[in-house]
């Protein structure tokens, strides 16, 4: 085509107007419904979100009617209309008003190879079509926008100042692997910010009392379904505040959002999960006093969480808890069957199944155990043991426990209702620990979570659907260990063989914990806290170290960071020395929060243009290869094999 032919395809775009008064509309035309050769209807999806029915009749203008019937579905159009007397077909998604087409002009066309149907699936390279035609994806992105606005507004009312900090930072020994950005000053590079941690502490030292930011963060981590190399967190910092104030404010902004969300009314079923529909939020009826909440907030200390749930990310939708058998003397024979430890700690829990005969329960357990990952099935403490309640068997299926089996059953049922046929009792041994437990989970905790999910999938246990009472279980986990032994392959913050459980800027919980840093740092607790939703960490924070001498002591004497590495933080030490007040902070993992609240296991479903597990953007084709000419100004060159 030449320039004139291309120009002829351009159409001036009018502003959207009220069709009842101005007679003009723009939008995407939906699937046409031909009532007869002489009459056709279609839905028009407008920029305002309204859906109008438009009608074409051959007796009004046969040429225009033919043009209307020849339009491809889903193309953008401009249409002039007038109010009609007819009622539209019941299959329409539009409102009751019907408008007769007086003129119509397409803005663009649609390729013949784009097939749109109710079950159409488009590849990641066609992300624009996924967003446009996968209603669940579009609903998730709309909810994300709504939630961001609500949280921002509530923080603004609390006096928070939204301050942007640099994305181009510098490499430090702070934690995960970094993305480096080379500069034309050869031999130098920026590091993309993993977190605004140091900047926000400097802002507190600058006199900013309440800081917030929707921060873009970058970490070169191994691929996982709930991780992206770049992600968004709602970053907050409070001057003259500790853990209690942080948790109070975070609870308030989240509860405010949940109150506005009205989960009982806004959650709708889509082809891929339960998703809050923004239009349903605005149209929800006034709340009634007896409307049960979908959410619950609670708090638990780290050590208690490990003991009760075997995890520092407890999922309180899972019924019951883990119990430790207090006296193994009567169960020594059973203990020797499940572990090689001479004096183990044996923990146990039970699951009550929904109308499951023992035979089916045993088949399920056999399949479950066969598919356990090696780290659980053959863990060094011994294989987990699952017993099925079956009153047709000796001692109800618990003969391996001996004649005092009822003591264990009373323990796991907490003296409550007796077990039914098909119910499961699960055991796992571990070595008794001297001192503070520092890992994030136990083997029995991992088994319990995995088993519950498998039982729910097989419809042998129930869990509330999103929007129903109890479906959003928030838990504050507090009093974490301050340090843990460094693991192989983990970024090490020093040469002491220790890593900070949160980060090295976290304050000790008490003065007694600070004194332990000199003698037994693995027993010290920190003033750190995590917020967990349905078994997934959605945010974390801590009271910070606000004294430069204390921060230097922890880095140099506890973590044993080398002097050269310590100098990387000189700007932070300077800020702390200039009268920095006590302060605390919190970062909410926004992508993960939205994913959990929209019923998807992957954050890719709540990000417009996500990366794959390999860190690739298949829509634009990144990362892209570079040539020698691009590398030369940075003093870089490709390695030659």
| pLDDT, tens digit, 9 for 90 and up, residues 517-547 | 999 999 999 999 999 999 999 999 999 999 9
Model pTM score: 0.92
Q: What are phi and psi of 303, to 5 degrees?
A: -65, -40
Distance CA 237, CA 544 (A): 10
Q: Residue 92 pLDDT more than 80?
A: no
In this structure, of 87-91, 575-579, 627-631, the range with the lowest mean pLDDT score is: 87-91
Identify whether the C-beta of residue 525 lies closer than 8 Å to the C-beta of residue 480: yes
Q: Residue 565 pLDDT more than 80?
A: yes
pLDDT in tens, 118-131: 788 899 999 999 99
Task: List the structure tokens of 331.
Answer: 């169960």
With bands split at pLDDT 50, 70 and 90, how would you rate the model's confidence at 11? low
Upper half-sphere CA count for residue 307 (Cβ side, 13 Å): 11
With bands split at pLDDT 50, 70 and 90, how would you rate the model's confidence at 12? low
Q: Quick one: pLDDT at residue 599?
A: 96
Q: Quick one: pLDDT at residue 251?
A: 97
Distance CA 344, CA 444 (A): 14
Nearest-5° angle of CA 523, CA 564, CA 581? 60
What separation in angstroms does the CA of 104 have from each of 13, 27, 356, 600?
13, 11, 62, 40
Q: Quick one: pLDDT at residue 91?
A: 52
In this structure, of 123-127, 388-392, 488-492, 511-515, the range with the lowest mean pLDDT score is: 488-492
Q: Residue 94 pLDDT more than 60?
A: no
What separation in angstroms does the CA of 188 have from each of 131, 191, 207, 244?
40, 10, 32, 42
Q: Residue 501 pLDDT more than 70?
A: yes
Identify whether the C-beta of residue 275 lies closer than 8 Å to the C-beta of residue 266: no
Distance CA 307, CA 444 (A): 10
Identify whether the C-beta of residue 379 lies closer than 8 Å to the C-beta of residue 431: no
Upper half-sphere CA count for residue 244 (Cβ side, 13 Å): 1
Q: Quick one: pLDDT at residue 18?
A: 65
pLDDT in tens, 436-453: 999 999 999 999 999 999
Give the residue carrying structure tokens 């459980």: 501
Q: Quick one: pLDDT at residue 243?
A: 96
Q: Residue 585 pLDDT more than 60?
A: yes
Packed helices 243-261 and 135-157: angle between N→C axes, nearest 10 degrees? 130
Identify whether the C-beta of residue 512 lies closer than 8 Å to the C-beta of residue 562: no
Identify whether the C-beta of residue 595 lies closer than 8 Å to the C-beta of residue 605: yes
Domains in the chain (CATH in brackets) are 3-106 (2.40.50.140), 135-279+475-628 (3.30.930.10), 318-463 (3.30.1360)
| Helical residues (DSSP H) of 103-230, grouped into ranges | 127-133, 135-157, 197-205
Q: Residue 477 pLDDT more than 60?
A: yes
Q: Residue 336 pLDDT more than 70?
A: yes
With bands split at pLDDT 50, 70 and 90, how would you rate the model's confidence at 16? low
Packed helices 358-370 and 443-457: angle between N→C axes, nearest 10 degrees? 120
Identify whether the C-beta of residue 532 lies closer than 8 Å to the C-beta of residue 313: yes
With bands split at pLDDT 50, 70 and 90, how would you rate the model's confidence at 227? confident
Q: Quick one: pLDDT at residue 112?
A: 86
Q: For the chain, what is the total number of helices (H) and then of strands (E)?
A: 20, 24
What SS3 string covers 552-573? HHHHHHHCCCCHHHHHHHHHHH
Distance CA 564, CA 600 (A): 44
Identify whether the C-beta of residue 180 lies closer than 8 Å to the C-beta of residue 191: yes
Q: Quick one: pLDDT at residue 224?
A: 67
The mean per-residue pLDDT over the stretch 242-247 comes to 96
Q: Quick one: pLDDT at residue 347?
A: 97
In this structure, of 79-93, 201-215, 389-403, the range with the lowest mean pLDDT score is: 79-93
The length of the chain is: 641
Q: Residue 86 pLDDT more than 80?
A: no
Q: Quick one: pLDDT at residue 225?
A: 61
Q: Quick one: pLDDT at residue 116?
A: 87
Q: Quick one: pLDDT at residue 297?
A: 95
Q: Quick one: pLDDT at residue 540?
A: 97
Q: Quick one: pLDDT at residue 195?
A: 93
Q: Torsion angle of alpha carbons 611, 617, 623, 625, nearest 10°?
A: 150
Task: List the structure tokens of 103.
Answer: 């003129």
Average pLDDT over the chain, rounded to an integer: 91
Task: List the structure tokens of 421.
Answer: 């046929």
In this structure, of 105-109, 327-331, 337-341, 490-494, the range with the lowest mean pLDDT score is: 490-494
Exposed, middle or buried: residue 119 (CB in 10 Å: 0-12, 13-18, 19+)? exposed
Identify whether the C-beta of residue 519 lies closer than 8 Å to the C-beta of residue 493: no
The mean per-residue pLDDT over the stretch 182-186 comes to 93
What separation in angstroms does the CA of 142 have from each of 131, 147, 598?
11, 9, 11
Q: Residue 13 pLDDT more than 80?
A: no
Among 174-183, 489-498, 596-605, the range of highest mean pLDDT:
596-605
pLDDT above 70: percentage of residues in the chain? 93
Q: Residue 344 pLDDT more than 70?
A: yes
Q: Residue 22 pLDDT more than 90?
A: no
CA nearest 482: which of 466, 503, 512?
A: 503
In this structure, of 55-59, 374-378, 492-496, the range with the lowest mean pLDDT score is: 492-496
Task: List the structure tokens of 637.
Answer: 């060159």
Report cis status (omega within 30 of 0) of the bond before 623.
Answer: yes
One-character DSSP codes across 69-129: HHSPTT-EEEEEEEE-SSPPPTT--S-S-EEEEEEEEES----TT----TT----GGGHHH
């Amino acid at each position: 085509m030449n320039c004139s032919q291309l120009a002829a395809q351009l159409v001036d775009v009018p502003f959207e107007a009220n069709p009842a008064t101005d007679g003009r509309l723009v939008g995407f035309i939906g699937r046409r419904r031909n009532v007869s050769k002489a009459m056709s209807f279609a839905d028009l999806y407008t920029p305002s979100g309204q859906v109008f029915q438009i009608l074409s009749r051959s007796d009004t203008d046969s040429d225009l009617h033919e043009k209307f019937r020849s339009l491809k579905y889903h193309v953008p159009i401009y249409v002039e209309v007038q109010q009609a007397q007819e009622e539209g077909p019941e299959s329409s998604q539009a409102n009751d008003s019907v408008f007769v087409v007086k003129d119509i002009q397409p803005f663009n066309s649609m390729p013949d190879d784009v097939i749109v149907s109710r079950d159409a699936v488009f590849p990641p390279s066609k992300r624009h079509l996924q967003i446009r035609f996968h209603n669940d994806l579009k609903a998730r992105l709309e909810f994300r926008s709504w939630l961001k606005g609500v949280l921002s507004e509530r923080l603004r009312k609390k006096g928070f100042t939204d301050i942007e900090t640099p994305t181009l930072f510098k490499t430090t020994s702070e934690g995960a692997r970094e993305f480096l950005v080379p500069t034309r000053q050869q031999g130098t590079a920026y590091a993309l910010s993993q977190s605004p941690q140091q900047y926000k502490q400097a802002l507190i030292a600058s006199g900013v009392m309440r800081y917030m930011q929707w921060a873009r963060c970058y970490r070169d981590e191994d691929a996982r379904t709930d991780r992206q190399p770049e992600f968004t967190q709602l970053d907050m910092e409070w001057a003259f505040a500790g853990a209690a104030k942080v948790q109070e404010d975070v609870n308030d902004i989240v509860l405010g959002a949940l109150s506005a969300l009205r989960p009982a009314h806004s959650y709708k079923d889509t082809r891929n999960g339960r998703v809050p529909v923004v239009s349903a939020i605005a149209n929800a009826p006034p709340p009634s006093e007896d409307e049960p909440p979908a959410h619950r907030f609670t708090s638990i200390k780290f050590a208690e969480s490990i003991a009760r749930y075997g995890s520092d990310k407890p999922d309180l939708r899972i019924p019951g808890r883990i119990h430790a058998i207090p006296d193994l003397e009567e169960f020594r024979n059973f203990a020797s069957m499940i572990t090689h430890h001479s004096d183990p700690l044996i923990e146990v829990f039970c699951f009550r199944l929904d109308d499951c005969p023992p035979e089916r329960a045993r088949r399920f357990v056999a399949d479950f155990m066969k598919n356990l990952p090696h780290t659980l099935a053959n863990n060094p403490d011994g294989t987990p043991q699952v017993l099925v309640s079956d009153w047709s068997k000796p001692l109800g299926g618990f003969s391996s426990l001996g004649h005092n089996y009822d003591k264990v059953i009373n323990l796991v049922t907490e003296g409550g209702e007796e077990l039914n046929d098909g119910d499961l009792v699960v055991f796992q041994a571990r070595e008794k620990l001297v001192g503070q437990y520092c890992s994030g989970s136990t083997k029995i905790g991992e088994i319990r979570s995995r088993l519950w999910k498998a039982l729910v999938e097989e419809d042998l246990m129930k869990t509330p659907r999103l929007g129903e009472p109890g479906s959003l279980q928030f838990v504050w986990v507090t009093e974490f260990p301050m340090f843990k032994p460094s693991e192989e392959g983990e970024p090490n913050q020093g040469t002491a063989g220790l890593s900070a459980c949160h980060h090295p800027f976290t304050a000790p919980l008490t003065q007694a914990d600070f004194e332990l840093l000199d003698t037994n740092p693995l027993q010290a607790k920190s003033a750190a806290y995590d917020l967990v939703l349905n078994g997934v960490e959605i945010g974390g924070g801590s009271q910070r170290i606000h004294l430069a001498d204390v921060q230097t002591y922890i880095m140099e004497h506890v973590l044993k960071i080398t002097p050269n590495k310590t100098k990387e933080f000189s700007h932070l030490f300077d800020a702390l020395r200039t009268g920095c007040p006590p302060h605390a902070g919190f970062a909410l993992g926004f992508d993960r929060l939205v994913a959990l609240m929209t019923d998807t296991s992957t954050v890719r479903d709540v990000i417009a243009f996500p990366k794959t597990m390999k860190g690739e953007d298949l829509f634009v084709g990144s990362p892209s290869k570079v040539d020698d000419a691009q590398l030369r100004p940075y003093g870089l060159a490709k390695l030659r094999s």
